[in-house]
Structure 1
Amino acid sequence: MTTVESDSGVLAGDPRMLIDGELQLTAGGATFDVINPATEEVAGVATDGTTDDMARAVDAARRAFDTTEWSRDVEFRYRCLTQLHSALQRDQERLRRIVVTEVGCPVGVTWSHVESPIEEVEHWAEFGRSFQYLEDTGLHQTMGTSSRRLIHYDPVGVVGAITPWNVPFYLNVAETMPALMAGNTVVLKPAQLTPWAGSELGRIVAEETDIPAGVFNVVLSNANEVGAALSADPRVDMITFTGSTATGRAILAAGASTVKRTLLELGGKSAHVVLDDADLTKALPMAATMACIMSGQSCVLPSRILLPRSRYDEGLAILQATMEAFPIGDPWDPAVLQGPQISAGQREKVLGLIADGVASGARVLTGGGVPPQFERGYYVQPTLLADVDPDSRVAQEEIFGPVLSVIPYETEDEAVAIANNSIYGLSGEVSSADEERALAVAMRLRTGSATINGGMYFGLTSPFGGTKQSGLGRRNGAHGFQEYLEIKTLGLPA
């Protein structure tokens, strides 16, 4: 079921989906092409599932939740996820080649795409095994009587997971493994542009674990209505989604009639506030690197750099030098750190927003177009825009490309106001020689997380999510695990 080009490392993934324990193609045999974004060539195909396929997958998940012991047997779930973790470790290099092929992620930076999610499976297995699903809160006095109260954590039920293309294998794991370990059954709908990161996970579950039929399903499709059908299905108790804010709004609307629980990680337009006492030689090279290393295709990317007017030219020079030297090219080259955009459409969107920024008064200090050295591939030059209007489209819309918009400010209060001038609130960053000063500014940012002087806020043990239109709920940590659980309070006589 796979093809290999040994000279390039290109590897096509499994074209099948997993429904009710069976790896299968859609009944009509339709497929869609998977394009290698570094070459613009067809790397292989995936089965093009239908709304009927999705209905069958939801039915299987509903039946598995309602009629099997999966939701009640923690030790069995632990054993199954431990099997999956071991199997993924064995298939690690195959998964890496698939990710580079369908995403265009440089092979040298695939740790977050491959190793990190594999270890996440083990983390959730251990966390879920030790979690206290029944908590005794002791005696409580109410209206003159004493009662003993318990809190029982129940799985939500059937969870639909809809994932994006930028870090597909990681997000397929992150949105399904805590749900499974909490006792839910899952239907995964991977992104159209990166179906194999989902189909391979389904194949490994089917072939190398004891996860029962129907507990984990993967439906591949190139049709938007198939994901929409998952969101609207009344048999689905919860939707977890990472992607655009526009799609997040549609998911909320689709689930409104059944008051469906939603966990949403949506868009971002994060700001990096560089204070006037910051060491620019430490803060700015990393800022430029983070803008390019995933081709800018990251929701948490601080794509707005706020520089004090007193150090504006100094900061621009550092950013420009870093971006002009940034290694871009063939994702199979270990020295390369920036690959292509995911598709021709995404490249056109990035180039269009750059042009719009220039039309609104921004200056292009470097980049701004397609690298002339590449005849094929959806590449965009690392691009630095100066003098960006804080209210312009390029400063307000998520670009998802290797573009930094630099905005000058006069006072600290003005910098905070500019940073908060966004419908988004996913993350942010503050740099200062005075850590307490940086912390004080970070606490004024209306975001779900913030980096202070390069400190890492993201990790499996800490909650992550957004404010405003960047999402609902949290992933990771105890908060993230509990998103997939219902809370039942029980009262007993004292």
Structure 2
Amino acid sequence: MSLRPVDSSALLIDGKLVPGSGGTFAVTDPATEEVLGRAADGTAADMDAAIDAARRAFDGTDWSRDHAFRARCLRQLRDALLGHVDELRELTMAEVGAPRFLTAGAQLEGPVNDLGYFADLAESYSWETDLGTATPMGIPTRRSLHKEAVGVVGAITPWNFPHQINFAKLGPALAAGNTVVLKPAPDTPWAAALVGKVIAEETDIPAGVINIVTSTDHGLGAQLAEDPRVDLISFTGSTATGRSVMAAAAQTLKKVFLELGGKSAFIVLDDADLATACSIAAFTVCTHAGQGCAITTRLLVPRERYDEAVRVTANALSGITVGDPRERGTVCGPLISAKQRDRVESYLRLAVEEGGTIECGGGRPEGLDRGFFVSPTLISGVGNDARVVQEEIFGPVLVILPFVGDEDAIRIANDSPYGLSGAVWGTDPERVARVVAGVRTGTLGVNGGIWYSADAPFGGYKQSGIGREMGVAGFEEYLETKVVAYPAT
């Protein structure tokens, strides 16, 4: 089977690869602005057919009850995708603009391999638990707790890490016994469409269990959220869109999982190696051009070393390679689109209007006349109440802020509508532990520790979302709980 992009203009509905009723739309390389090819443009009628297929597959087959079969199908999908990993890597760099080094991790190989974790979980999970015998109202009763699939899952995913987020929903949802309708972002349709092609042609996954509808019509997400045949909506994207999804899903009181925005703090305590910590903060914010909700974009440093931290961080950012994501040395590739570049540049202008100083970057890199690039940028001289500090920019933009003492660092870190991720650097274990305990966020890395893993739940506090993705906690988002009582004999 060829995975050439030209073959990616199909939807997956009810086990068949079908054209989109709306024709096709262009897929653009964000590093060159060239049209790579075309993707199927699904319509409301296509989405209706996909939901119907998922509903019939859940209600009319043994998919939700055959745990061993589901595990086998997930491993089959993993192995089939790994057989095409080099083709998928080229596609991911071209369509997503993801730097090559990331495709060995969260941009491709990591998420594909994670399907094996969820296959194992489907087999090892305690689907039934004996609650023992009790005598409610004097009646001897034997009780058991059963975990069952929710039903039809509507998955709506963004463009920044499409493989990671698509499989973080497909893996646990399918392992738990659900059927799925996946609506990927129109910026990166091939990352999902090619998976649909593999599912249809190289796996035993039954028709209707997975349906994939690529489309330029954002209204299809609302259609998926509102449809009463859908039992759960799993959405990753902006906080503003998450509110709309939650409101649409409320009409039928369906379960909702939301993984939303972030403005995470990178805290450098006064006993840390400042140069090392600031250099890592600089590298982190440039990874995939800063297009990650969990990327740390606020750098908090001791006030007495603020000027030194600004200098070190600016030097580190200026030395980071920006350019073609296919080149092995590239860390900071392009933004996904001209629209996103315009958004980031508007925040750079706003930073100056708010009294900030652009210490480095602040515009488009020299020598890159095509592609949606923005230079790694450091902003100083603003308070934590500035919009560039409070709002998610989604670009290679770092804001540096001073603090006085550990409690002040915690206060500033928590002074945000978000609470998704963060980092703490320091040498005193007790002080680090107090800061970790004080920061209200879903994940924290300490002194370079990496929390990203299939078995580690990911999600946020406050307006960063509801629920957790990945790990056992993420798997259980896709389950219902049933208690069954029998007369005790």
| Same fold per superposition (TM over 0.5) | yes
1:21-70 CA-to-partner distances (Å, cap 9, x unmatched) read 11011235x21111100001111111111011000000000000000111
Partner of 1:390, secondary structure, is: coil
Give every structure 1 segment of 4 or more consecutive aligned residues whose post-TM-superposition deviation is greater than 6 Å.
1-4
CA displacement, residues 103-148 of structure 1 (integer Å, 9 cap, x when unaligned): 1111122122111011111111111111111111223354445432
Name which of 74, 81, 85 aligns with 1:88. Answer: 81
**1:355 lines up with 2:349 in the alignment:** yes
Deviations 1:9-32 (A, max 9, x none): xx556111100111011235x211
Q: What residue in structure 1 maps to residue 32 of structure 2?
A: 39
The answer (yes or no) to whether the contact 2:348–2:362 under 8 Å persists in 1 is yes
Q: What's the CA shift string for 1:354-375, capped at 9, x where partnerless?
A: 1101111111110000112101
Which of 306, 318, 327 matches 1:312? 306
Per the alignment, residue 104 of structure 1 pairs with: 97
Counterpart of 2:69 in structure 1 is 76
Q: What is the percent sequence identity of the aligned residues?
A: 49
Aligned twin of 2:325: 331
Which residue is equivalent to 2:167? 173
Q: CA deviation at 1:92?
A: 0.7
What is the alpha-carbon distance in structure 2 between the residues aligned to residue 52 and residue 41 of structure 1? 30
- Work out whether 1:455 is the aligned partner of 2:434: no
Is residue 114 of structure 2 the alignment partner of residue 128 of structure 1?
A: no
The more displaced of 371-380 and 271-280 is 271-280
Is 1:256 aligned with 2:276? no
Q: Is the 8 A contact 1:133 1:154 kept in 2?
A: yes
Residue 372 (1) aligns with residue 361 (2): no
C-alpha displacement at 1:97, in angstroms?
1.0
Q: How far, CA to CA, are the matches of 2:277 and 2:131 in structure 1?
A: 47
Distance (Å, rounded) in 1 between the aligned partners of 2:214 and 2:286: 30
Per-residue displacement from partner, 1:163-210 (whole Å, max 9, x unpaired)? 000011121111111101110000000100000001011110000011
The Cα offsets for residues 52-92 of structure 1, whole Å up to 9 and x where unpaired, read as 10000000000000001111111111121121111011011
Report what 1:446 is aligned to: 440
Distance of 1:109 and 1:417 partners within structure 2: 33
| Counterpart Cα distance in 2 of 1:2 and 1:88 | 12
The total of aligned residue pairs comes to: 487
Partners of 1:52 and 1:124 in 2: CA distance = 32
Instruction: Provide the C-alpha distance between the structure 2 equivalents of 1:140 and 1:338, rounded to a whole number of angstroms.
Output: 61
CA contact (8 A) 1:465 1:475 kept: yes
Give the SS at the match of 1:293: helix
CA deviation after TM superposition for structure 1 residue 281, in Å: 2.6
The corresponding residue for 1:425 is 419
**Counterpart in the other structure of 2:157:** 163
CA distance in 2, matches of 1:335, 1:349: 26
Flag the 1:300–1:405 CA change in 2: closer, same or farther, 3 A.
same
CA contact (8 A) 2:3 2:194 kept: no
Q: Which amino acid aligns with 2:407?
A: D
Give the structure-2-normalised TM-score: 0.97
Q: Does 1:67 align with 2:57?
A: no
The secondary structure found in structure 2 opposite 1:124 is helix
- Native 8 Å contact 1:13 1:199 kept in 2: no
Q: 1:437 matched to which residue of 2?
A: 431
Q: 1:224 aligns with which of 218, 221, 230?
A: 218
Secondary structure, in 3 states, of the residue corresponding to 1:328? coil
Task: State whether residues 435 and 453 of structure 1, in contact with CA within 8 Å, keep that contact through their aligned partners in structure 2.
Answer: no
- AA aligned opposite 2:288: M
Residues of 2 paired with 1:18 and 1:325: CA distance? 44
- Distance of 2:245 and 2:388 partners within structure 1: 26
